[in-house]
Structures are given as C-alpha cells and as structure tokens.
C-alpha cells in the first residue's frame, strides 16, 4: 500500500461524531471524513404516491432537481477523493454504503461497509433498501458486523460469507476505572436511548419487584427518547419516584463516573415488532470495563460479551421476574458482585480492548485497499 493513500470515512451527519465507536474510528484511523449532507442521495424518501396531474408534475420536477444535485455532489466528492489521495472508503451504517456506492464505482474505489444495528434488522428499512443492499453486497470488498447474530442476519440478507467480518466494538479501558467499592453500593444503572428495543419500561417493572425485598435500592436511568414520558408515567403509577431516578442525557465522562458508584448495570433489550435489534451495546462493554456485573437479555450481540454466570446474568427477552431475581441476588450477595465485577473487567481487557478492535478494522481496510 502506498503511504500516500488515505482512508475516507462516510458518516450520516455531524452528530455521528458523538457515537463512541465512530469517534474512535475517525481518530485512530486518522481518516478523512465525508458527511451525509455531501453525499449523493440514492434513496427516494417520499414513499407517498398520487395519480393527480399536480403530483406527477411535482414528482417529475423533484426527480430532475435531484439528478442535477446528485451530479454536482458526485463531482465535488470525486474532487475531494483525488485531492486527498483516498485509497478506500469506510461507510458507517448500511444506508451510507448505499449513498456512496455510485461515487465509489465511478472512482474505482474499494468500499467497506460497517453495519451497526437497525441497518441490519429493521424491517421497513430493509424493505426500502432491498435492491440497493444487493448492489452494495455485490460491489463492497468487505462487510463488517459487530456480533455473531448480526453476521447470521447479513448472510440471510444475501451477503457472501467471504465478505462478512465480525469485529466487536472495543473499549478504551484507561477511561473506565475499576469500581473498588462495588460491594457497598445499592445503586443500579441503565444508560441508553429510551426506545423499543432497549425496553426501559421492562427494567423498571423488574426493579419494582426488587424494591419489595430491598427497599433502599436505587435505579438511575440515563438517556432520552420516545419512551421517556411513558416511563415517567409508569414510575408515577407504581409510586416509586423516590427509587427510580431519571437523569436525562449525560456526558461520556459523567456516565463513567456513575459507573464508579454502581453495583449493577441492567438493560432489558428485546426485538420489537419493527424487527429492530441491538448490535453490541457499548454501555454494556463500558459497565464491564468499570468492574460491575451486568444483568441483561439473550439478545443480539449481548451474549457475545456477557458471560452468563461469570460476568453477569442473562435472561430471556420479556422475562421480568428472572431479571428481578438476578438483580436481587447481586444486591444481596456482596462477594458474588465483587467476583463477577472482577471477571467482567478482565473479560473486557482480554477480549474487547479498543486498540485490538481498531487494529482489526484497519487490517480489513488495508486488505480491501490492496485487493
């Protein structure tokens, strides 16, 4: 590989910089970055159809404008690719692979697509992009997934086995210190978006059962999302406002500090009707890096990173009673909580270090560039 060739990462928007894994990819790969607003749009977002003359004329004009804009954008992207001596393109998320596909083809650039979660599972998303995904699978040099379950899903969608690589996210263990006082805490923590696949209301129902045995326990919930108000109403209905505290969005540093004070991390992920699923939740990796055991579900990539009975406990989806029992067990048994917490941190250090994950990603990119 020529030393002048660079990696170009294409992301959905500027907010993607806040995604822990994408930020790590950009920084550690020393990559050029192109955001979605610069990319040719290959997806027709308006799915509504009408037979009226006005609608037909409007749609025709929109198509002409879209073609003109796409051509101008492709010229702009092509210029940047040549100026920056780009040797390979990494598209973060499947739909970004779709958006940049034609530009890669025209510039004879190898394309690597990194899938993360909903872009592999969500039914309406997959239906809308079925044909485009087939084209991406055919052209791309490599398709990266973050769990064994996601690998099976991509193969089911038609990806060639030789192109699919599983590379679980890593954690910068230097940013997550071990919780040395885990035994004295009765705090339980959840961090994530309040959305269907994370089912925060089920974690609340499980914790309500725990309070009957351990009334001084506290559940701290960090995040925001569509189900936040529903969760607020549930907490009020159950009259457990003093025990379940909704904290809103917190910074990465604040979350790391909260993990230092928690006994257990919980997350009751499920597959909703939409089909959306987790990849491998970063918060679960980070909790283990902090030396606290995890109670979660046998969902997506979670069983790949949580060793049941050793670094935490896993229950079937929607098993609220099972989750409650395991939370109680860890709150009542200090020795078990310490032992599992130690095992959890060692699990991350040995198997999910960020440097190892980025090194594997870099290897895939360089091989794609040279093939």
pLDDT at 51: 54
| Burial zone of 13 (CB within 10 Å; 0-12 exposed, 13-18 middle, 19+ buried) | exposed
Mean pLDDT of the region 313-341: 97
Most confident listed range (71-75, 170-174, 293-297): 293-297
d(CA 114, CA 142): 8
CATH 3.40.1160.10 fits 6-170+353-370, yes or no: no
Mean pLDDT of the region 6-30: 77
User: What band does 16 get if pLDDT is binned at 50, 70 and 90?
Assistant: low
d(CA 135, CA 370): 21
Residue 149 C-alpha from the chain's centroid: 14
Checking if the pLDDT of 210 tops 50, the result is yes
Checking if the pLDDT of 38 tops 70, the result is no
Checking if the pLDDT of 49 tops 60, the result is no
Mean pLDDT of the region 84-93: 89
User: What band does 41 get if pLDDT is binned at 50, 70 and 90?
Assistant: very low
Catalogue the E-assigned strands of the chain. 6-11, 32-35, 86-92, 111-114, 142-145, 164-166, 187-191, 218-222, 244-248, 264-266, 294-297, 312-315
Of residues 278 and 297, more confidence is placed in 297
**% of the chain at pLDDT higher than 90:** 67
**Domains 6-170+353-370 and 173-351 are alike in CATH topology:** yes
- Three-class SS of residue 84? coil
Checking if the pLDDT of 123 tops 80, the result is yes
pLDDT at 84: 78
Four-point Cα dihedral 285, 291, 295, 298, nearest 10: 40
Checking if the pLDDT of 57 tops 60, the result is no
Most confident listed range (53-67, 86-100, 236-250): 236-250
User: What band does 130 get if pLDDT is binned at 50, 70 and 90?
Assistant: very high
User: What band does 122 get if pLDDT is binned at 50, 70 and 90?
Assistant: very high
Checking if the pLDDT of 262 tops 50, the result is yes
pLDDT at 30: 80
CATH 3.30.70.870 fits 173-351, yes or no: no
Of residues 9 and 12, more confidence is placed in 9
Domain ranges for the chain, please list them: 6-170+353-370, 173-351
Checking if the pLDDT of 43 tops 50, the result is no
How many Cα atoms are found within 13 Å in the side-chain-facing hemisphere of 118?
12
Four-point Cα dihedral 353, 354, 359, 362, nearest 10: 150
Say which range, 126-130, 182-186, 284-288, 300-304, has the weakest mean pLDDT.
Answer: 182-186
Mean pLDDT score of the chain: 87
pLDDT at 2: 43
CA distances from 361 to 113, 165, 167 (A): 11, 9, 7
Checking if the pLDDT of 238 tops 90, the result is yes
Checking if the pLDDT of 172 tops 50, the result is yes
Q: What is the pTM of this model?
A: 0.85
Mean pLDDT of the region 186-206: 96
């Amino acid at each position: 590989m020529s030393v002048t060739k660079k990696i170009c990462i294409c992301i959905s928007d500027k907010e993607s910089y806040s995604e822990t894994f994408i930020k790590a990819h950009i920084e550690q790969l020393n990559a050029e970055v192109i955001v979605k607003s610069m990319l040719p749009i290959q997806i027709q977002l308006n799915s509504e159809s009408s037979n009226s003359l006005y609608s037909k004329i409007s749609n025709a004009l929109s198509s002409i404008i879209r073609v003109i804009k796409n051509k101008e954008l492709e010229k702009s992207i092509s210029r940047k690719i040549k100026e920056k001596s780009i040797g390979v393109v990494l598209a973060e998320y499947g739909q970004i692979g779709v958006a940049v596909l034609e530009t890669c083809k025209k510039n004879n650039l190898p394309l690597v697509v990194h899938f993360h979660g909903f872009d592999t599972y969500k039914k309406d998303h997959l239906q809308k992009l079925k044909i485009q995904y087939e084209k991406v699978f055919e052209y791309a040099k490599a398709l990266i997934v973050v769990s064994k379950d996601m690998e099976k899903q991509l193969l089911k969608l038609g990806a060639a086995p030789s192109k699919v690589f599983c590379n679980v996210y890593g954690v910068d263990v230097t940013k997550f210190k071990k919780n040395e006082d885990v035994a004295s805490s009765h705090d339980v923590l959840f961090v994530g978006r309040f959305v269907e696949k994370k089912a925060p209301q089920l974690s609340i129902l499980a914790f309500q059962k725990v309070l009957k045995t351990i009334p001084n326990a506290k559940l701290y919930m960090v995040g925001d999302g569509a189900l936040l108000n529903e969760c607020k109403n549930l907490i009020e209905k159950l009259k457990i406002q003093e025990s379940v505290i909704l904290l809103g969005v917190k910074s990465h540093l604040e979350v790391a500090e909260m993990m230092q004070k928690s006994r257990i991390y919980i997350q009751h992920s499920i597959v909703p009707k939409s089909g959306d699923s987790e990849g491998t939740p970063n918060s679960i990796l980070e909790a283990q890096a902090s030396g606290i055991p995890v109670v979660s579900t046998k969902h997506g990539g979670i069983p790949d990173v949580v060793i049941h009975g050793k670094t935490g406990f896993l229950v079937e989806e929607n098993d609220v009673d099972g989750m409650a029992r395991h939370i109680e067990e860890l709150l009542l048994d200090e020795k078990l909580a310490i032992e599992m917490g130690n095992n959890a941190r060692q699990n991350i250090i040995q198997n999910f270090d960020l440097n190892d994950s980025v090194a594997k990603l870099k290897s895939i990119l360089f091989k794609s560039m040279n093939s």
